[in-house]
A and B are shown apart, each in its own frame.
Chain A
Amino acid sequence: MADEKHDRPISAEHAAPVFGEKVLRIDNVVKRFGDNTVLDHISFDVRKHETVALLGASGSGKSTIMKCVNLLERVDDGQIWLGATDITDPRIDQDKVRARIGVVFQQFNLFSHMTVLNNVTLSARKVHKWPRDKAEEKAMGLLRRIGMERKAKEYPDRLSGGQQQRVAICRALMMEPELLLLDEITSALDPLLVGEVLEMVGELKHQGATILMATHEMGFAHDAADRIVLLRRGKVAENGSPEEVMDYPTDPETRRFFAAYNRV
């Protein structure tokens, strides 16, 4: 597959395997800050087990759409559906919706006054009212999978940036969220530490996680994502397989965008 992709374009039917039902449905979303329309009728879906990479220059609306999905920002028009729930409906219980989505940000994810283990178990204990042993057992299992079980009693400031981000991903996975939102999780890392975090995301994808990630790591997006959504000036400029969007773009502006990244 990997060596084929440079030989010939793969048609959309071939590139997109059959994924499950739509986990996230972004439907004509509009967001304005004053006179400035940041999101201009954005629509795209994320299906079950699918990894979608959200790309775009700074100011294209990437992080705003991430914030809208996580209910940190209110949507002006349009709807966002998580499963059968319209999460833009102001009458819903926002805390319940947030608990269904796992989120990792660029940095300062972990609570610095809590050990790694307490960070990972917090939502289980406090939101879902699990007994401590049950939460810790599950958390230790997750930490063991990433080789961090010996750091369970450490405080976050004793970990490298890459370890902190991997623990943050564990914490996001703790309650088996329907959707994992990764918001530029490697942007604040030392380049040497980016690899271990991306490797973990790759593993999650193979285990069938549903992921929406905003990223600047073009190589990773190309290799790991099932679909690329490219935003430009608040609109969806491209929505297709990595091959279609990144390798054989037809739109000249898209071509210039990726060419600029390749030069860096």
Chain B
Amino acid sequence: MPDIPVQQVSEVERERAGFRRKESMRSVATSIVSTIIFVALVVAVLKSSPGWPRVKESFFSAEYFALAWPQVVEGLLLNIRVLIVALAGVAVLGTSLALIRITTSAVMFPLRVVARFYTTIMRGIPMIVVLYLIGFGIPGLDLFGRIDKAVLGTVAVVMSYSAYIAEVLRAGFEDVHPSQRASARSLGLTTGQTMRLVIIPQALRKIAPALMNDFIAMQKDVGLISTLGAIDAVRAAQIVVAKTYNFTPYVVASVLFILMSVPFILLNDWYSAKLRKREQTGGMV
């Protein structure tokens, strides 16, 4: 056949496309059916369990939901304030720890040992223990007078999360290609300029998904400051629970925490997907 129009589709291609279409229809149908069966099973188990009406009343009561809502929302404002301050604190302490960890100069040796020790210990201790140590230990020293529980809670969150963030940052710094550092140095940039202008901006791009993931974890972990008695969303819920003997307020707090984190989870997914796409297409030499 001498004169094939450019766009003409051959029999083979048509047949393949038809087969693929049929395959994908079948897999969509399969997933719809399996979802329906799964949901039906869960509903059936809940409805048929003898205790369900009581569970529903104590955890998902509309009445108590409305009752607890304003107080828990007010508590959440404290969580948000703590989160913002802690974020700044973690950025400063985490970056400092990471920078100390990657220096090679002899002068920094003792600091390097301290940083290493700190990140190792802090990543190992359960966060609740850090909270107790700071929240009850520091006031116990009787050095500073009365300190707000929320402040102590923030300090504990900063101390704990800085250790994780420092390790993520360190990995990011070390992941920047050595030629980049060599190029920066050979342009005459000082060590500090190389770090600030070349290494840190590139590392941040690479580790942004991991950092955002830690931020999302931190959002819910600021709820742990309730254990110190600071009246945050969780504590506010606890107070209502204690009065009403109904657990719905905890659900209220959970819903609020979820709502707070969803935008960041979506943002993180979007950004990770974008990075992945860029890395896959950017393999040009």
Interface set, chain A 113-143, CB cutoff 8 A to B: 113, 122-123, 126-128
A109 touches B179 (CB 8 A): yes
B188 touches A123 (CB 8 A): yes
Q: Inside 8 A of A18's CB, which chain B residues have their CB?
A: none
The distance in angstroms between the C-alpha atoms of A122 and B184, with both chains bound, is 9
If over half of A's interface residues share one DSSP class (helix, strand or loop), that class is named, otherwise mixed; here it is loop
Q: Residue of A at shortest CB range from B182?
A: A72
Q: Residue of B at shortest CB range from A101?
A: B186
Asked if B96 lies at the interface with its beta carbon under 8 angstroms from chain A, I say no
> What 0/1 pattern do residues 140 to 180 of A give for CB contact below 8 A with B?
00000000000000000100110000001001000100000
A98 touches B185 (CB 8 A): yes
B198 touches A111 (CB 8 A): yes
A98 touches B186 (CB 8 A): yes
Interface set, chain B 249-285, CB cutoff 8 A to A: 278, 282, 284-285
Q: Inside 8 A of A181's CB, which chain B residues have their CB?
A: 186
| Interface segment out of the listed B37-45, B46-54, B149-157, B189-197 | B189-197
Q: Residue of A at shortest CB range from B279?
A: A157
Q: Inside 8 A of B184's CB, which chain A residues have their CB?
A: 111
B284 touches A157 (CB 8 A): yes
**Candidates A105, A128, A175, A189; contact of B183 at CB < 8 Å:** A105
Q: Inside 8 A of B190's CB, which chain A residues have their CB?
A: 95
The distance in angstroms between the C-alpha atoms of A128 and B205, with both chains bound, is 28
B197 touches A126 (CB 8 A): yes
Closest Cβ of chain B: how far from A175's Cβ, in Å? 8
**Candidates A98, A105, A190; contact of B188 at CB < 8 Å:** A98
Interface size on B, residues (CB 8 A): 22
The distance in angstroms between the C-alpha atoms of A109 and B177, with both chains bound, is 10
The distance in angstroms between the C-alpha atoms of A110 and B284, with both chains bound, is 14
Q: Inside 8 A of B179's CB, which chain A residues have their CB?
A: 105-109
Q: Inside 8 A of B285's CB, which chain A residues have their CB?
A: 107, 161, 188-190
Q: If the complex has contacts A95-B188, A98-B188, A157-B284, are A111 and B183 also in contact, measured as CB distance less than 8 A?
A: yes
Asked if A28 lies at the interface with its beta carbon under 8 angstroms from chain B, I say no
Asked if A8 lies at the interface with its beta carbon under 8 angstroms from chain B, I say no
A113 touches B205 (CB 8 A): yes
Asked if B187 lies at the interface with its beta carbon under 8 angstroms from chain A, I say yes
Q: Inside 8 A of A128's CB, which chain B residues have their CB?
A: 188
The listed residue with most A CB atoms (<10 A of its CB), out of B187, B190, B278, is B187
Closest Cβ of chain A: how far from B155's Cβ, in Å? 34
Asked if A85 lies at the interface with its beta carbon under 8 angstroms from chain B, I say no
B183 touches A103 (CB 8 A): yes
Asked if B120 lies at the interface with its beta carbon under 8 angstroms from chain A, I say no
A112 touches B187 (CB 8 A): no
Q: Inside 8 A of B187's CB, which chain A residues have their CB?
A: 98-99, 122-123, 127, 171
The distance in angstroms between the C-alpha atoms of A161 and B198, with both chains bound, is 20
B282 touches A95 (CB 8 A): no
Q: Inside 8 A of A108's CB, which chain B residues have their CB?
A: 177, 179-180, 183
**Candidates B183, B188, B282, B284; contact of A99 at CB < 8 Å:** B188
> What 0/1 pattern do residues 148 to 190 of B give for CB contact below 8 A with A?
0000000000000000000000000000010110111111111
Closest Cβ of chain B: how far from A111's Cβ, in Å? 6
**Candidates B189, B201, B202, B205; contact of A123 at CB < 8 Å:** B189
The distance in angstroms between the C-alpha atoms of A108 and B182, with both chains bound, is 10
Q: Inside 8 A of A103's CB, which chain B residues have their CB?
A: 182-183, 186
Asked if A88 lies at the interface with its beta carbon under 8 angstroms from chain B, I say no
Asked if A96 lies at the interface with its beta carbon under 8 angstroms from chain B, I say yes
B189 touches A95 (CB 8 A): yes
A127 touches B189 (CB 8 A): yes
A157 touches B282 (CB 8 A): yes
Further pairs besides A105-B183, A127-B188, A181-B186: 19, Cβ < 8 Å = A72-B185, A95-B185, A95-B190, A96-B188, A98-B185, A99-B188, A103-B182, A103-B186, A107-B179, A109-B179, A111-B184, A113-B201, A122-B187, A126-B189, A126-B193, A126-B197, A127-B187, A157-B278, A168-B183
Show 17 residue pairs from A and B whose CB-CB distance is below 8 angstroms, ordered by the A residue: A70-B182, A70-B186, A71-B185, A98-B187, A103-B182, A103-B186, A107-B285, A109-B183, A111-B184, A123-B187, A126-B189, A127-B187, A127-B188, A127-B193, A157-B282, A171-B187, A190-B285
